[in-house]
Amino acid sequence: GYTEHDFLRVVKIIGGVQQVVPKSDTARQSTPTPTNDSKGSIRKFSFPPVSKPDATILILGTMPGERSLALNQYYGHGGNQFWKIMFASFNKPYSDDYSIKTKLLTDHSIALWDVLQHCEREGSSDNAIIGEIPNDFKSFFLKHPGIKTVLFNGNNAAEYFQKHIGFANSFRHDILPSTSPANTWATKEEKLEKWKQAICAV
């Protein structure tokens, strides 16, 4: 039932094997240890968290998009409204300086991370994610004992968290409208209102 496309994907993941692997054997190939692949790889890795030990809120996305990965910045795509929403929520003038962006969060005891540590994905769509591995939240929460609220940037982040980690009664969980430009179900104003309410309710 495997297609030629499936076979080529297996070859690419393993790292360019030189001999043909029979189709009957491809399903038994073990998942390779993650390594830093060259530009254009479908294997993606998330960033370390932006956080301080005094964090009380954790904001979780799913996985950085292609533009964010290229810039090595959370929500680096110009069309993503995340940072503008954060500045507006705290009534601060917007800045393109990434250090100021992250400081805005840590100054307000907010941590920022992604649910997934690495995965395979062509492009930036969450719908293209396969073979995902979650981040180590057990260790993270031990290092950030003050976190009581987890805010998900969109439904996909919440679904992957529920799948791999599970919701705990000790945390308040809130699923907010995705700040991605792909989310056209809510206006900019609606997204800002819901995010600001969730943050200020803590």
Q: Annotated catalytic sites, by residue?
A: 80
* Consecutive H or E run containing 57: strand 57-61
Look at residues 145, 154, 160 and name the one whose alpha carbon lies nearest to residue 111: 145
Joined tokens for residue 66: 């292609």
Q: Is residue 20 exposed (0-12), middle (13-18) or buried (19+ Cβ within 10 Å)?
A: exposed
Helices (H), the chain: 4-14, 23-26, 66-71, 82-89, 98-107, 137-143, 155-164, 188-200
Q: Is residue 27 exposed (0-12), middle (13-18) or buried (19+ Cβ within 10 Å)?
A: exposed
Taking the C-alpha atoms of residue 197 and residue 90, their distance in angstroms, rounded to an integer, is: 11
What is the DSSP-derived secondary structure letter of residue 13?
A: H
